[in-house]
């Protein structure tokens, strides 16, 4: 499995959610939960002072009906990634997609970029 930036413009909306389609090429046919994380997301409470300015993002994989939390095992499927930006202006975020442990390609971790936020 691998992640790479697609044709969608990586623009976020200040104080709003944006949904992106994630194409998953699952040649190993594994069925774990696909999760996403970013050092630019997380709670501000308790964050070291030097990192507060970098925390502008909230993110989640949409896995409610009609989607399912786990990958289907099909060679090709699509998932929905939701991103929220609390700030305006040009910003960069690093996203990590992970399928967990105990599968082919253990601890799959790939970075992608989102490069903007607009008012």
Greater model confidence, 87 or 63: 63
The answer on pLDDT for 104 being more than 70 is: no
pLDDT, residue 3, reads 65
Overall average pLDDT of the 7-28 stretch? 86
The answer on pLDDT for 19 being more than 60 is: yes
Give the count of beta carbons closer than 10 Å to the beta carbon of residue 114: 25
pLDDT, residue 66, reads 93
pLDDT, residue 118, reads 45
């Amino acid at each position: 499995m691998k992640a790479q930036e697609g044709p969608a413009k990586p623009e976020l909306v200040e104080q709003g959610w944006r949904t992106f389609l994630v194409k998953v090429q699952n040649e190993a046919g594994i069925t774990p939960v696909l999760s996403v994380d970013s050092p630019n997301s997380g709670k501000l409470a308790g964050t070291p002072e030097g990192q507060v300015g970098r925390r502008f993002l909230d993110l989640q994989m949409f896995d409610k009906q009609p989607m399912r939390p786990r990958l289907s095992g099909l060679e090709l499927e699509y998932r929905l990634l939701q991103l929220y930006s609390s700030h305006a202006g040009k910003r960069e975020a690093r996203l990590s997609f992970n399928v967990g442990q105990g599968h082919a390609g253990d601890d799959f971790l790939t970075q992608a970029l989102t490069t903007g936020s607009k008012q």
